[in-house]
Amino acid sequence: MNEAGKVKTVEQLAALIGGRVSGDAQTGIDYVASVGSASAGAVAFVEDQKALESAQDCAASALIVPDGSGERARKIAQKVPAIIEASKPKLAFALIGTILHPRKLREPLIHPTAVVAPGANIALTVYIGPHVSIGENSTIGPGTRIEAGVVVGDNVAIGIDCVLHPNVTLYDEVTIGDNVVLHAGVCVGADGFGYVRDDVGYHKFPQIGTVVIEDDVELGAYSCVDRAALGQTRIGRGTKIDNLVHVGHNCNIGERVVIAAQTGISGSVIIEDDVVIGGQVGFGDHVRVHSGAVIGSKAGVLPGKIVRPGVWWGIPIQPLDEYKRLNAHLSRLPQMREDIKKLRARLQELEEKLSEGTPSLP
């Protein structure tokens, strides 16, 4: 049974997502599952009509399918009591998942092992777990949950209904908005990688700026967001960042940006709203990525590059169509090498024959 302990009927769930039900609308649902692992009480989904065949042996109590495929789904998934048709089945499934599996709730508490500075301002409904440290003049909003081992520095502002998973570290003077989720080991506000060289070595450039993380942001485990040297590093509202991502100092990442794991972003990069970035992408400094750009996995973006809307791939990045053409040529290089070796041998043979047939000069 889901954490909230409440079973929802298919009819109730369909109403919440604007879906249409066929079959037993009063069937009880209490968890979500994949087509292959679902059993009684579960709701599963297929994203398109091609995937319907995979639901032939599905044992779920309800199946979400694309609009217009309800009749076909009933014929294929005969063991499923109820079918829900939705315009976007995957989105509908995700929304139902948040209803059936709500975020874990904690009763308000400050654990006896937590260390909270006298000047900290903690809302009455906050949960603070074991071995947490909260610095002077920091504020934590209502409903926020701070799990074991989290360190919050001085003058930090944390909004309402946030979740800080174990061992998150927030350096001094950073700002976290509302409904932000920071997964285990996230570090926000460490110094940026800024040094100035002289004749004998490197001197640290001042790292006295801050970090602002806006509402509804989620940062994956062990990701790092550096403080600005001067000014601020910003992560915009609704942006979702995967595990092991590094955001350098003075970066400005817009709203609803998605960044996959192991991406590294150098300092002073601007990423506009609604950009999609694959895993292991490397950004040089002072790059600007325009809204609507999609950057494929393992791409390399050279310093100062302006990335316009469209799909980009490769090292250095290039439009996807150009990358595909180049890749096609590269795959033929071994054969071209063999052809060139044969041509060279043939040319040498012809030159030798011509040389043998040329009369010597008197």
pLDDT at 357: 67
Q: How far is CA 332 from the centre of its chain?
A: 35
* pLDDT, tens only, 229-277: 999 999 999 999 999 999 999 999 999 999 999 999 999 999 999 999 9
Task: Say if CB 235 and CB 181 are below 8 A apart.
Answer: no
Quick check: is 111 catalytic? no
Q: What's the confidence (pLDDT) of residue 42? A: 94
pLDDT beyond 70 at 361: no
What is the mean pLDDT of the segment spanning 45-50? 89
Which member of 131, 246, 249, 286 is catalytic? 249
How does pLDDT run across 89-139, given as a tens digit for each residue?
A: 999 999 999 999 988 889 999 999 999 999 999 999 999 999 999 999 999
Q: What DSSP string describes 292-322?
A: TEEE-TT-EE-TT-EE-SEEEETTTTEEHHH
Is 256 in a helix, a strand, or coil? coil
- At 3 the pLDDT is 46
For residues 152 and 157, what is the distance between their CA atoms, to the nearest angstrom?
9
Question: Considering the entire predicted model, what is its pTM?
Answer: 0.85
**In this predicted structure, which of 170-179, 311-320, 341-350 has the lowest mean pLDDT?**
341-350
